[in-house]
Amino acid sequence: MSPSSWLRGSRRPSWLSDPKVLRTEVLAGLVVALALIPEAISFSIIAGVDPAVGLFASFTMAVTIAVVGGRRAMISAATGAVALVIAPLNREHGFGYLVAAVILAGVFQIVLGALGVARLMRFVPRSVMVGFVNSLAILIFMAQVPEMTDVPWPVYPLLAAGLALMVLFPRVTTVVPAPLVSIVILTVVTIAAGIAVPTVGDKGELPSSLPVPGLPDVPFTLDTLTTIAPYALAMALVGLMESLMTAKLVDEITDTHSSKTRESVGQGVANIVTGFFGGMGGCAMIGQTMINVRVSGARTRLSTFLAGAFLMVLCIVFGPVVSDIPMAALVAVMIMVSFATFDWHSVAPRTLRRMPAGEITVMVVTVVCVVATHNLAIGVVVGSVTAMVVFAKRVAHLAEVTAVTDPDGSTVVYRVTGELFFASSNDLVGQFAYGTDPDAVVIDLSAAHIWDASSVAALDAIETKYARHGKSVEIVGLNEPSARIHRTLSGELTGGH
């Protein structure tokens, strides 16, 4: 990556010259910070660590990625996917090994980014992307269900009031984000009226000081490396998958381009910094990113940086106030995010009637896998593989063979049309009349293209079958790439004719 491309995002930011942009970015950062607190605490519980560990990770991830990341306005922090990966390591070996794994995961991400892993995103089809978006919307909503069950009855009117405020307030003004207004009003109402409902403070104790850098408390031996390496690699892959998919989604929402390679390397740098500050690591947060970009309208790195900075300020300076925020207010925000994130057009009857069955299958498989495993990375991989299978099955039938025999009956010409690869070439061998054809056979491939060794092997098999009947085969019309692969591999795959 050239220095110019790395520094492209460092030109004079728009918020320095436009007060309206500055206000949007600051308020968006504040809303995201408020939404990060209960999520970070919840993910800490999943990982089996103190709540402060998740909050510190969210702080360092957001602040660092705001500087080194490739996608402006995207939020990175402690996430559930990462927590699930590293929880067994913490449980079996202790917190020091967890921190060491976070640092090593960051190193892996930098290496993978430098090797160009981001380019693999081009192989993720649109149907998988739609399934990814819809499944994350479902997961965001499902994560709120526990906060709406077995709770005091005042939670429900507060939740309804929060949703109403976020729907109606933008009709009055968009100067202040509706989620922030909703959080403030519901907090004031619950405190003033003394309403007893679950609050942020019930999730866990907020930290009272900034994190201090240090080395992980583990023996620096080969045994330690072999213990943490599998967890670190899994964390690196899951983190990159979620981050790159989220970056691609934000690209579409904002109609802008971002450097996926820089984002991959930036995620690694952020995790290394987070590890040295005793955090649990993380990656891009889809729900908070949607709050920042789609709900609050943020578009610059400032909102990402301030989300992390405000998070620590809220915890350390305003901890008692933040602890009194009713969870109903934050749940209402996340429900709105879920609703806004879901691609409703993709499930409209009119769209489904026009969509090819294979595309619908890929989308459904992606959603089912993500919802079943609660792992977006698994869903994307399974969805992409399904899309490849559907594509291969569709293309496999595009290779057609037509035969024309000369009037004198001495020669038959087979014209092959379509793409020849492992799926389509399997049926090719059976489309020739070896026993009844004339002695001279011509296979015309001018309307075909050879893609792989399977196709060359199929052509060799055809020539071998004709040779057994004492007939000669001439292959004509190969384009240059097809001729090159045929010339290189013919006779080498089946031991000759």
Q: How confident is the model at residue 398 (pLDDT cuts 50, 70, 90)?
A: low
**CA distances, 186 to each of 146, 151, 159, 479 (Å):** 20, 17, 9, 70
pLDDT at 7 (0 to 100): 45
Neighbours of 453 (CB within 10 A): 16
Residue 397 has pLDDT above 70, yes or no: no
3-class DSSP string for the chain = CCHHHHCHHHCCCHHHCCHHHHHHHHHHHHHHHHHHHHHHHHHHHHHCCCHHHHHHHHHHHHHHHHHHCCCCCCCEECCHHHHHHHHHHHHHHCHHHHHHHHHHHHHHHHHHHHCCHHHHHHHCCHHHHHHHHHHHHHHHHHHHHHHHCCCCCCHHHHHHHHHHHHHHHHHHCCCCCHHHHHHHHHHHHHHHHCCCCCEHHHHCCCCCCCCCCCCCCCCCCHHHHHHHHHHHHHHHHHHHHHHHHHHHHHHHHHCCCCCHHHHHHHHHHHHHHHHHCCCCCCEECHHHHHHHHHHCCCCCHHHHHHHHHHHHHHHHCCHHHHHCCEHHHHHHHHHHHHHHHCCHHHHCHHHHHHCCHHHHHHHHHHHHHHHHHCCHHHHHHHHHHHHHHHHHHHHHCCCEEEEEECCCCCEEEEEEEEEECHHHHCCCHHHCCCCCCCCEEEEEEEEEEECCHHHHHHHHHHHHHHHHCCCEEEEECCCHHHHHHHHHHCCCCCCCC
Residue 421 has pLDDT above 90, yes or no: no
Q: What are the tens digits of pLDDT across the range 76-107?
A: 999 887 887 888 899 899 999 999 999 999 99
Contact 497, 463 (CB under 8 A): yes
Contact 80, 40 (CB under 8 A): no
Global pTM value? 0.75
Q: How confident is the model at residue 4 (pLDDT cuts 50, 70, 90)?
A: very low
Q: How confident is the model at residue 108 (pLDDT cuts 50, 70, 90)?
A: very high
pLDDT at 11 (0 to 100): 66
Q: How confident is the model at residue 413 (pLDDT cuts 50, 70, 90)?
A: very high
Q: Is the Cα dihedral 299, 302, 305, 310 positive or negative?
A: negative
Give dist(CA 480, CA 491) in Å, integer. Answer: 19
pLDDT at 312 (0 to 100): 94
Sequence-distant contacts of 110-114: CB under 8 A, at least 24 apart? 110/264, 110/265, 110/268, 110/269, 110/272, 111/268, 112/236, 112/237, 112/240, 112/264, 112/268, 113/240, 113/261, 113/262, 113/263, 113/264, 113/265, 113/266, 113/267, 113/268, 114/261, 114/265
Note the Cα 238 to chain centre separation in Å.
8
pLDDT at 493 (0 to 100): 64
Q: What are the tens digits of pLDDT across the range 226-252?
A: 999 999 998 998 899 889 989 988 998
Which of 414, 330, 310 lies closest to 59, judged by CA? 310
Q: What are the tens digits of pLDDT across the range 339-352?
A: 887 889 888 898 88
Sequence-distant contacts of 191-196: CB under 8 A, at least 24 apart? 191/324, 195/154, 195/158, 195/326, 196/152, 196/154
Q: Please, what is the angle between helix 95-114 and helix 260-276, to 10°? A: 160
Which of 262, 274, 281 lies closest to 110, judged by CA? 262
Half-sphere exposure of 33 (CA within 13 A, CB side): 28
Name the token pair of 277: 């500050």
Give dist(CA 194, CA 33) in Å, integer. Answer: 25
Give residue 10's identity as a one-letter amino acid code: S
State residue 15 phi and psi, 5-degree precision: -70, -15
* More confident of the two residues 51 and 108: 108
Q: What are the tens digits of pLDDT across the range 170-206?
A: 888 877 888 888 889 999 999 999 999 999 888 888 8
Residue 496 has pLDDT above 50, yes or no: no
Residues in CB range of 211: below 8 A, 6 or more apart = 52, 56, 59, 60, 277, 278, 279
Name the token pair of 349: 């009857």
Name the token pair of 348: 């409209």
* More confident of the two residues 374 and 470: 470
Contact 78, 281 (CB under 8 A): yes
Contact 216, 96 (CB under 8 A): yes
pLDDT at 85 (0 to 100): 84
pLDDT at 404 (0 to 100): 86
